Structure 1
């Protein structure tokens, strides 16, 4: 589990947490809310724990819509990029590695794109400027993205960040994933071709042409990652990446705790209401006890995050160094 894989796993697990809470209690809570509305009208949604519950559901629905929109845009961009590559395809010059598509463009660049069967594209300018070993280093790097399914992971990671826009830690984890995958692909090239070939390729490859869909749809290194990639090249091992900001982690933990408290409080209230009978109105003490119980139960979420943070720190995921 390198930095990219750990970060991607944490992105998906963190993004799934708030929606998992709702799904776990979804059927019973949904029936309870519908029953309350049928009995007391929509005004009941503005009383007690139902008000924050409605706000939570609205937040999650907005997030789900944002995530779906992100996936839609990325899929559309990928289709445009595939068409762009197909329209500008050139005949591979002699010595071009097998399985690589050549784009008729003067600038030296390379990228991986596509979902089901990712493809590697390199420009004619790249082939003309790189030596055979440097070109092979670039292709090995891109094929690492192919085998790791990075284009598909990128779609999922970006969608997760949009879906959980209220958890700032997710966006920072996505940034760690983006950096980690480039470093891992560079290490594969270093292992197979050596430092000279990778260094030559690293300083000759540019960010690519000004295609709008390129940043959205391709597994491609950003120029701002050059410093940390050079650092790895000099060290020979993966350098430390910037830590997750403590503020972002704290806000995310607090939001998860509050969401969990709302779900648990609503579950307890529905159980108390059922036990008391349909004609019994919950007292303030009952409602307060339900909310307090919900917050107490979600203390486990906070404890889990603290334990996970310490574990990640021992694994080096939270160790910092400026890039």
Structure 2
């Protein structure tokens, strides 16, 4: 599965589940009020009421977790923007020429920092930050490879999609396979950016850049961003440069599959029980009842 398919599979699954839960949760609140009014509080002891409570709890906890992740992501992105405006320095003529070749004119910021790094940031209009340390240590071909890599991230709006994937995966915490899809998306986008850089600059330049570029600096670590220097995929990226087999084929672990099956069963029980409870009220017409 490539990165784009993993991303859209994650979004589709999350949206379908969320839409179903939100619809039933809204109906459920009304149905519970009707049941209590007409049958008394004893209805809360039924299995259907417990299913409804589970559904409402899953919805509330998921909403809280995703809101927290979204808030932290947006705040981290804002922190990076402020930091980069403070540290930005003028580009040299050589850097400007390389930027033009990469198609990133007016979208690259050179940052005063001795640590060699480059990353793409910005949710609506992605930009590329490159440290002065990398500009100094990399050859012209290596710097062009770095910018070609980051240009692919910018074209794909990967910082924004990273934030969306993070928020959706953390919302559906009972379904770890969605977290696996998020991991696949992130990994495959890095590999796709490497392939783009190889196409434009050659294997040697990309390999040299990988050896020199570090990860994102600490102050940008929590921001939704894409960086060339991530080390978690180094082996897969080297294998890709060597032209070997499919570079990233990590499968979901058995524990992830088992936990997702359990989480899926919990959702099915909660949704079915809630739908049954709603169907025993005047809201049944919403489900085709009479």
Q: TM-score scaled to structure 2, two decimals?
A: 0.86
**Larger RCO of the pair (alpha carbons < 8 Å, separation 6+):** 2
Give the match's secondary structure for 1:217. Answer: coil
> Structure 1 residues 39-48 or 129-138, which shifts more?
39-48
Aligned-partner Cα distance in 2 for 1:133–1:241: 30
Give the Cα–Cα distance (whole angstroms) in 1 for the partners of residues 89 and 283 of structure 2.
73
Partner of 2:160: 152
2:115 matched to 1:107? Answer: yes
237 and 275 in structure 1: CA distance in 2 versus 1, 3 angstrom threshold: closer
Q: Match of 1:279?
A: none
Partners of 2:10 and 2:147 lie apart in 1 by: 28
Q: How does 1:66-81 map to 2 (within 5 A)?
A: 66-81=65-80
8 Å contact from structure 1 (residues 21, 260) kept in 2:
no
How far apart, in 1, do the equivalents of 2:64 and 2:268 lie? 21
TM-superposed CA distance for 1:55, in Å, is 1.7
Q: CA deviation at 1:46?
A: 2.9
Say which of 250, 255, 261 aligns to 1:242: 250
CA distance in 2: counterparts of 1:223 and 1:272, whole angstroms: 56
SS at match of 1:240: coil
Corresponding residue pairs, total: 274
What residue number does 2:287 align with? none
Aligned partners of 1:39 and 1:30: how far apart in 2?
A: 14
Question: In structure 2, how many angstroms separate the alpha carbons of the residues matched to 1:182 and 1:72?
Answer: 25
Cα distance in 1 for partners of 2:75, 2:19 equals 28
CA distance in 1, matches of 2:277, 2:137: 69
Does 2:82 match 1:83?
yes
- Aligned partner of residue 112 in structure 1, secondary structure: strand
The aligned residue for residue 318 of structure 1 is none
Instruction: Tell me the residue number matched to 2:172.
Output: 164
Uncovered stretches (5+) of structure 1, i.e. residues with no partner: 277-323
Q: Deviations over 1:110-163 (max 9, x none)?
A: 000011111111011111111111111110111111110100011111111211
Mean Cα displacement is larger for which, 236-245 or 183-192?
Answer: 236-245
Structure 2 CA distance for aligned equivalents of residues 273 and 209 of structure 1:
57
Residues 224-266 of structure 1: CA deviation (Å, up to 9, x unaligned): 2211111111116741321012331233234224322332333
| Displacement after TM superposition at 1:42 (Å) | 4.8
Matches of 2:16 and 2:154, distance apart in 1: 29
Matched, 1:57 2:56: yes
How many Å separate the matches in 2 of 1:215 and 1:45? 43
Instruction: Give the aligned partner of residue 216 of structure 1.
Output: 223
- Partner of 2:222, secondary structure, is helix
Contact 1:45–1:54 (CA under 8 A) maintained in structure 2: no
Per the alignment, residue 31 of structure 1 pairs with 30
- Secondary structure at 1:122's aligned position in 2? strand
Q: Distance in 2 between matches of 1:274 and 1:116?
A: 45
Distance 1:58-1:41 versus aligned 2 partners, 3 A rule: farther
Deviation at 1:215, TM superposition (A): 3.5
Contact 1:18 / 1:256 at 8 angstroms: preserved in 2?
Answer: no
Query: Displacement of 1:28 after TM fit?
Result: 4.1
- Inter-CA distance 28–107: structure 2 relative to 1 (3 Å threshold): closer
Relative distance call for 1:149 and 1:165 in structure 2 (3 A) is same
Residue 45 of structure 2 is matched in structure 1 by: 46
1:231 is aligned to: 239
